Structure 1
Amino acid sequence: MRSTLAALVTTALLGAGLLAPPAAAATPPAAAPPVTPEQLVTLVPSRLVPSQPSPGDVRRALARVARDSAGRVRLGVIGRSNEGRALRLATVGHGPTRLLYVTQQHGDEPLGTPAAIRALWALGVPDSAWHRALRSRVTIDVVVQANPDGAVRDQRWNHDPSASGEYAEPGVGYDINRYHNPLTPTGDNPVPEARAVLRWWHRTEPRIVVDYHMQGRYQQPDGRETTASVLWPTSALVTPAAVTTGRQLAVRTDEATTRFPGAYVTRYPGGDYEGIARNGYGILGSASLLVELSALPHDRVEFQIRTAFASMIATAQGAADGSLWRTDPARADRIPARGPALPGLAATLHDAA
């Protein structure tokens, strides 16, 4: 079955002019015919996982991806939630440049999770020369659904009735995305989900960290609606080099996303607190980026998943072929500031950063 699937995917890519013939198998990605996110997304089964997946849905979908990839997508567990649910890690590639994607730190912000599962399928199941070259250059770790307890409750926070303090909802839980502060000893961190991600960072020291969230609905002065917002580290403790590459990541995501008609990316109005993931991992030295998908109407959910998928693929491809590091970071200044909440609609989700 796996060999038949691989043959079908390879045939489809060849027919679309995406792959070099077998003689070009040794060609590095920079010289190979480009495979764009828009082309890859059409090959991925769209029903791998629901748009608002349960932890069980995630477990089953990841098991399918690992099976279909003949083990090229590797699965693990980096910790447990307060209720004992697995914090699932999926890894594809074996190259020297490490990337870390994190999805659904806020349980009511689900769309990055199905996008990541599709990206794992797209990079791990096909076994073309292009895919093998990419996987030889990067290792991509994905913490898939970092807040499973919040996901089952459709709530922002994790589940911890003893939670207290500035970034907690008493009797409910903690805001995981405020507990990545590298200045706090990991053992003193009260949030097991954040502790697990921090420990994985220290184990692997990824060059890139991208954190996927969701936001409400916002409109620009010219009437266009924001479909996603991005922001790089803004803490004064982050090195200029990490900020620069974070800005390059923002440009890469903007370009990949806006190739989809109707997509419009703005700059997220985030804060400087060190515990926010994009700041915390920037302080540790990674290039980091926050991606906020807007909570568009139900008939545009698939569109939003596809644009998040595109940003994941574009980041991986840019890190593998080196084009990411050649991106002009000054182009991030052209990403417009996010406008006000859409008239007549409340911003239904809390700001993530």
Structure 2
Amino acid sequence: MSRPEHAPKDHPATPRGKTGVLIANLGTPDDYSYWPMRRYLNEFLSDKRVIDYPKWKWQPILQAIILTKRPFSSGAAYKSIWNEDKGESPLMTITKDQTAAIAATMKDRFGDQVMVDFCMRYGNPSTRSKVREMVAAGCERILFFPLYPQYAGATTATANDEFFRALMDEKWQPAVRTVPAYFEHPGYIDALAKSVETAYGAMNQKPELLVVSYHGMPIRYLMEGDPYHCQCQKSTRLLKERLGWEDTQLITTFQSQFGPEEWLQPYTVEEVARLAREDGRKNIAVIAPAFSADCIETLEEINEEIKESFEEAGGETFTYIPCLNDAPDHIAALSDIISDNLRGWLD
């Protein structure tokens, strides 16, 4: 707390001078019961960046059909992975751990100049609440970091949108920067490669193939200029080169398709079944580089639904390689990205 320069002696002291680092992830329901799930899904599926159909066309379908049924199925999926000890989803637990680890690194590098916190695009803690806290704490600058390695309109862009909307509420706006996609950052690629090497090193028999599964999106979005597909393909190529592998040792697939449109292919759930049924693959591993933290799409969709698809088609050994989460080399990579983006503000 300090009094502004040249202010009269009776001017109240104000907190100023800090730099905020606000980490953002997708979000999580507060609970897996019906109404918390419905609120969360309503916020998520009402986002025009996620579903870009006209409101008059989409909202009646969403409110009258999807949100009457999907909270039950999604709630059951969340229940199967829920962190009951802490009363929260794994994504929430992991994001808290990541934030604490990054905050410790920033303190080592910059002392008390940096305030590190996290927010969620959907659900709690909201972006708006965390921006307010940072401004109130005296952050004159905020670096906003969506934890999506590959850029997509439905992830990075909507997180940035919400951040900018939050700034509209502030009388005294801080200076801001946003962190761009880091799909080709050497530290990120190296951390991915090490996670594969560690997983393979612990196996008695190495998998015949590594399936590199990314979250999907409609092909139309790609044709309209979204760079996500190209960045996913480059991340896979850089991972392959870092591992020193041949093209035949890994493939890129896409998961989580939703709605009637054609999405990026091959679909992971179908491809793993085809690998077992047609190619005779009995032992595969799956990694999900688009997710910075394990969540419903990895712990339930990959490690339960997609695994079941592989095994029902004749596959025998299915290994899911966890997300990078709060692994030290991942935290180091994220911290380096943050430090690079703070240049000129803090050196």
Same fold per superposition (TM over 0.5): no
Determine which structure has more spread, i.e. the larger CA radius of gyration.
Answer: 2
Higher helix share: 2
TM-score range, shorter chain: under 0.3
TM-score of the aligned structures, taking structure 2 as reference length: 0.28
TM-score of the aligned structures, taking structure 1 as reference length: 0.28
